[in-house]
């Protein structure tokens, strides 16, 4: 019988082992793309991650009798988001493990114990100690496609490791796909757009870099009205919004970041970015000098032919008024120009608790390319389990 040892990640040596484990596990997986080390480490840096102000995070690696690292996991909680659930809920993430339930259970048990001691009554996983658009969900379908930037790719057996432990499906996350072409847009979308275009109080326009501060605040305004009411989603501060836009600035493309206005007030956004995993796959996790030069080379030579939809939001007062149709058609009119560099679109992270957005993606001719699952584990095994409540946005 194999014996395992849990080791807390506390120094350069253990950090290196934590980061290198996936490279060892997925060395023969052609679709896996190694994430940038700096993207992972920024999650666990209190100077870069604001959630440390009201929370904690810890990491472990798991080694076997031969001192080989065979698993890893992180556990974390943020008091503000934890309290938005029916019970205080923390998270586990960055889980990697060999196909061995006993090894996985050791990682899950330690995380549960650590979270329980800090007042948590449940844990979600695999999730991120940060924004939902990164490192969120267990891939359960779509293994023949590479992961999107900062999204998980894992072996099919991870689903069983989570479910066998007792995690249950809290919600599904769908990644939709469609080609950049006019064909496939529903008549309903076109009719909504035509109706709004005749009304001068509505305006649809894409971001201007020279006015980035203005659009950053417009984004924050819509986000806080549309998204912060979701369980587990905290209100976005000005500092956080500026930090987010600053992180996107090196890859920001004005023509794929759209906003809707009513009488000059922001009411919706539809934000896409270049799918830079088409470049990151060449960097082996390193954004050092050589990595930066490679990045610039592949960026300049047109390696990114896919745009990735990050987030879509409509403030509650303007939902069900056709705003989504107007903003989609405004984007489509720009995307069909001859100099538009993107030939493919992927719409990341559409939760099954959001039927409105699922309907919109169907209407624009998209289909599900990949499915991730966010699992939840209740510490009180006698408490009834409930899936995420459906909402409209």
pLDDT one-digit tens code per residue, 161-193: 999 999 999 999 999 999 988 676 778 777 878
Answer yes or no: do 90 and 144 share one domain. Answer: yes
Give the end of a domain, one of 342, 366, 387.
Answer: 342
Answer whether 386's CB lies under 8 Å from 86's CB: yes
Answer yes or no: do 139 and 246 share one domain. Answer: no
pLDDT at site 228 = 65
Nearest Cα to 281, choosing from 162, 108, 149, 86? Answer: 149
C-beta neighbour count of 391 within 10 angstroms: 14
Distance CA 334, CA 172 (A): 31
Answer yes or no: do 130 and 212 share one domain. Answer: no
| Cα dihedral 295/258/247/42 (nearest 10) | -100
Answer yes or no: do 23 and 146 share one domain. Answer: yes
Answer yes or no: do 9 and 111 share one domain. Answer: yes
What is the DSSP secondary structure assignment for residue 259, as one 8-state letter? E
Give the end of a domain, one of 298, 313, 342.
Answer: 342
pLDDT > 90? residue 362: no
pLDDT at site 371 = 98
> Of 118-127, 305-314, 349-358, which one has max mean pLDDT?
118-127
Q: What whole-number percentage of the chain has pLDDT above 90? A: 64
Give residue 300's domain range.
181-342
Tens-digit pLDDT profile for residues 316-339: 888 878 888 888 888 888 888 888
pLDDT > 60? residue 393: no
Answer yes or no: do 82 and 205 share one domain. Answer: no
265 has which bridge partners?
262
For residue 148, give the CATH number of its domain.
3.40.630.30
Q: How many helices (H) and strands (E) would you count in the chain?
A: 12, 13
Tens-digit pLDDT profile for residues 32-48: 999 999 999 999 999 99
Tens-digit pLDDT profile for residues 251-268: 889 999 999 999 999 999
How does residue 216 score in pLDDT terms, banded at 50, 70 and 90? very high
Answer yes or no: do 120 and 257 share one domain. Answer: no
pLDDT > 80? residue 53: yes
Answer yes or no: do 165 and 187 share one domain. Answer: no
pLDDT at site 115 = 98
Tens-digit pLDDT profile for residues 57-77: 999 999 998 999 999 999 999
55 has which bridge partners?
78
pLDDT at site 219 = 92
User: Which range, of 148-162, 225-239, 341-355, averages the lowest pLDDT?
Assistant: 225-239
Q: What share of the chain is helix, strand, coil (3-state, %, to 5)?
A: 35, 25, 40
67: left (phi over 0), alpha (psi -120 to 50) or beta: left
pLDDT > 80? residue 224: yes
Answer yes or no: do 191 and 321 share one domain. Answer: yes
- Give the count of domains, the chain: 2
User: Hunting for tokens 């056709």 — which residue is that?
Assistant: 322
pLDDT at site 156 = 98
């Amino acid at each position: 019988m194999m014996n395992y040892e849990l080791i807390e990640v506390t120094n350069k040596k253990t950090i290196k082992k934590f980061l290198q484990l996936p490279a060892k596990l997925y060395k023969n997986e052609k679709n896996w793309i190694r994430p940038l080390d700096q993207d992972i480490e920024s999650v666990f840096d209190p100077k870069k991650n604001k959630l440390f102000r009201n929370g904690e995070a810890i990491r472990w690696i798991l080694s076997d009798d031969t001192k080989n690292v065979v698993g890893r996991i992180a556990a974390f909680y943020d008091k503000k988001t934890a309290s938005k659930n029916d019970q205080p809920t923390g998270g586990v993430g960055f889980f990697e493990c060999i196909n061995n339930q006993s090894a996985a259970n050791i990682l899950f048990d330690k995380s549960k114990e650590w979270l329980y001691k800090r007042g948590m009554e449940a844990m979600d996983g695999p999730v991120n100690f940060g924004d939902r658009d990164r490192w969120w969900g267990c891939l359960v379908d779509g293994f023949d496609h590479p992961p999107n930037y900062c999204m998980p790719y894992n072996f099919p057996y991870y689903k069983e490791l989570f479910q066998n432990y007792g995690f249950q499906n809290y919600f599904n996350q769908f990644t939709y796909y469609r080609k950049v072409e006019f064909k496939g847009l529903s008549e309903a979308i076109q009719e909504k757009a035509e109706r709004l275009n005749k009304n001068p109080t509505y305006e649809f326009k894409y971001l201007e870099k020279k006015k980035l501060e203005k659009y950053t605040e417009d984004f924050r305004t819509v986000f806080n009205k549309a998204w912060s009411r979701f369980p587990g989603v905290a209100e976005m501060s000005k500092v956080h919004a500026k930090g987010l836009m600053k992180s996107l600035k090196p890859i920001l493309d004005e023509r794929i970041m759209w906003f809707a206005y009513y009488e000059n007030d922001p009411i919706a956004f539809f934000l896409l970015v270049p799918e830079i995993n088409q470049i990151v796959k060449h960097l082996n996790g390193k954004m050092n000098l050589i990595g930066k030069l490679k990045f610039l080379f592949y960026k300049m030579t047109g390696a990114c032919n896919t745009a990735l939809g990050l987030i879509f939001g409509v403030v509650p007062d303007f939902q069900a008024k056709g705003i989504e149709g107007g903003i989609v058609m405004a984007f489509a009119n720009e995307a069909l120009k001859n100099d538009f560099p993107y030939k493919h679109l992927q719409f990341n992270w559409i939760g099954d608790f959001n039927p409105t957005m699922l309907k919109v993606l169907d209407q624009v001719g998209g289909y599900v390319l990949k499915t991730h699952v966010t699992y939840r584990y209740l510490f009180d095994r006698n408490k009834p389990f409930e899936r995420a409540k459906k909402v409209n946005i």
